[in-house]
Amino acid sequence: MKDRFHENILKVIVVLLAIVIGSGISAEAASQVVWQIGKFDQSPEEFKMPKRRRMVQQPATEVVYIVGKSKPAEDWPAYQPASADKAGSPARPYTIQFELPQAPEGVYTLKVGLLSRSARVAQLRVEINGHPGLFYQHPKLNYMAGEWAGPADTIAFDFPARFLEKGTNKLALSAIYNAPPVDNDRNAGLGYDAIELDQDSAGKFPSDAVTADIDRKSVV
């Protein structure tokens, strides 16, 4: 009888161990954050604000944000003017530079939280180490109170590990607005809420899905 009791206890321990190990494996397979810039809170307050705290065109300076060194409040502007803001001037990309200590593997997901205060909604151009894609926003009204409340959208897409490399990587974001400029409305551009790169190291990316995925939303 006593032996059977011990046997049952042993069975329970084995089952519990299996559950713990199983949950550990599934946790490892889940997506992990590689880096995040800002917070997804439908506000650009953590970023570098233009003068008078309005979402207006900022001086055209080169933006290179180095993950691990740069600070959102000092190095990433809350707003990015679109290409047509100034009579069709070319888009100035904001670049994120980051290091990968290991060879990239699996599937990566980029999430870009955007805010807009203009009816002229800019498109987001993303270039990952030279691989371009163009994404259209579908802003939803944001009813959060505050000076910056406005339509918001988060663009998220997967891309394969082969877009990245061990060592230094560059990801460039641009605001594109191709309609003719209108004198009384120069506010087409992107407001940033947060940007995040995730990795699912166990994920598999279908070999023909990149083009399909990016083409669905882009005209590069």
Which parts of this chain interact with Ca ion (CB under 5 A)? 38-39, 41, 43, 193-194
Q: How far is the CB of 63 from Ca ion (least distance, A)?
A: 17
114 strand-pairing partners? 153, 192
Instruction: Show the tokens assigned to 90.
Output: 């070319």
Closest CA to 76 of 194, 162, 201: 194
List helix spans (H) across 48-187.
72-75
Q: How far is the CB of 156 from Ca ion (least distance, A)?
A: 15
- Our CA angle for 84, 87, 93, nearest 5°, is 40
CB closer to Ca ion, 153 vs 200 = 153
CB closer to Ca ion, 55 vs 194 = 194
Q: What span, in angstroms and rounded, lies between the C-alpha atoms of 191 and 93?
A: 14
Closest residue (Cβ) to Ca ion?
193
140 strand-pairing partners? 152
Q: How far is the CB of 36 from Ca ion (least distance, A)?
A: 10
Q: How far is the CB of 40 from Ca ion (least distance, A)?
A: 6
CB closer to Ca ion, 43 vs 116 = 43
CB closer to Ca ion, 114 vs 128 = 114
